[in-house]
Amino acid sequence: MVERIIYFETMEPIDFFGVNNSNIDLLRTKFSKIKIIARGHEMKLIGDENEIQKFEEKFDLLIQHLEKYNNLSNSDIERIINNNVEKKVISKNNDDILVFGNNGKPIKAITANQKVMVEKYNDNDLVFAIGPAGSGKTYTAIAMAVRALKNKEVKRIILSRPAVEAGERLGFLPGDIKEKIDPYLQPLYDALFDMLPPRKLESYIKDGIIQIAPLAFMRGRTLDNAFVILDEAQNTTLNQLKMFLTRMGKFSKFTVTGDITQIDLPRKRDSGLIQAINILKDIKGIAIVYLDSTDIIRHRLVKSIVEAYEKSNIK
């Protein structure tokens, strides 16, 4: 008789245990010779060593499935335990799916231009995605970044934004530096919360695997083995965007997103994004993707609002 304790350090135990311990109850029926005690952030196994070893082999497959799909149902457990599968995540028909978000929600490029973004990412190390609000450019970029991290194509994700919006400046905002910058970076957090379990995201941020910072914090760095996203790039100056792009290190992928119709700089012509796409458009390895109102997937009125402003002569 032996005893093993399994600790759940980077995921919420309920995601594995199931609602009202439904997954644990099923595992108890499948491994009736083992006593399984699920409590807090640990699971204790008591029984014959050979039986516990068999359980641990299936447990590894269940964890792989949960980490990939962010969901583990009774039917998933039945399939994984009953089938004589190899030690790899069971494949689903998911060629178009970038990642599985929380509760197993499939996240994919939906519109034609979002799919072009994904295609261009596969063939280029630097992709510019230009489009209006709600066209999914940032969300798609972050989904690609999470996929790259999960597939071990990169070792970290770095997300950045210029802290210039609606005439505000950091120095005039209340609080410490984190409290000052978080409102600017919240849209990036929102996307990540859709795609990663809270405990896993917290662990990634704590360990520096996912870094979220204002553009000014990029100066002087060399970003190797990373998927790097600069969002709201229309609010960078020529020198700021040049500084950002020259941070690119070995085995890195850069994506720059922006909406050139919403420039918050004092003079719109100073936007580094507009200048960059003209300066860099003919360089091999750099792709420029344009999204438009047909890609907007927010509330139906957003598309109408964007189109109305495009037709107006108001600048």
What's the pLDDT score for residue 163? 72
Q: Report, as ranges of residue numbers, the positions in the chain whose pLDDT lies below 50.
A: 86-93, 165-168, 170, 172-174, 176-177
Edge to edge, the sheet with strand 42-47 lists: 2-7, 42-47, 35-39
Q: Is the dihedral of CA 97, 100, 106, 109 positive or negative?
A: negative
User: Do 2-82 and 97-311 come out as alike in CATH topology?
Assistant: no
What's the pLDDT score for residue 235? 92
Rg (CA), the chain: 23
- The answer to whether 257 and 127 are in contact (CB under 8 A) is no
CA distance 124 to 126: 6
Query: Which stretches does DSSP call E strand in 139-209?
Result: 156-161
What Cα–Cα distance (Å) separates residue 314 from each residue in 19, 95, 130, 189, 261?
53, 43, 20, 33, 11
Delimit the domains of the chain by residue range: 2-82, 97-311
One-character DSSP codes across 208-235: TSEEEEEGGGGTT--B-SEEEEE-SGGG
Looking at domain 97-311, its CATH class is alpha beta
CA distance 36 to 45: 5
CA distance 188 to 138: 8
- The answer to whether 293 and 303 are in contact (CB under 8 A) is yes
| Total number of residues shown for the chain | 315
Give this prediction's pTM: 0.73
Looking at domain 2-82, its CATH class is alpha beta
| Nearest CA-CA partner of 90 in 105, 114, 103, 73 | 73
Dump pLDDT digits (tens) for 207-257. Answer: 999 998 888 888 889 999 999 999 999 999 999 999 999 999 999 999 999
What's the pLDDT score for residue 267? 84
What Cα–Cα distance (Å) separates residue 24 from each residue in 16, 18, 43, 90, 290?
8, 7, 10, 20, 48
Dump pLDDT digits (tens) for 156-189. Answer: 999 998 875 433 454 544 454 455 556 667 888 8
- The answer to whether 244 and 215 are in contact (CB under 8 A) is yes
What's the pLDDT score for residue 179? 55
What's the pLDDT score for residue 87? 45
- The answer to whether 256 and 130 are in contact (CB under 8 A) is no
| Nearest CA-CA partner of 213 in 236, 184, 237, 235 | 184
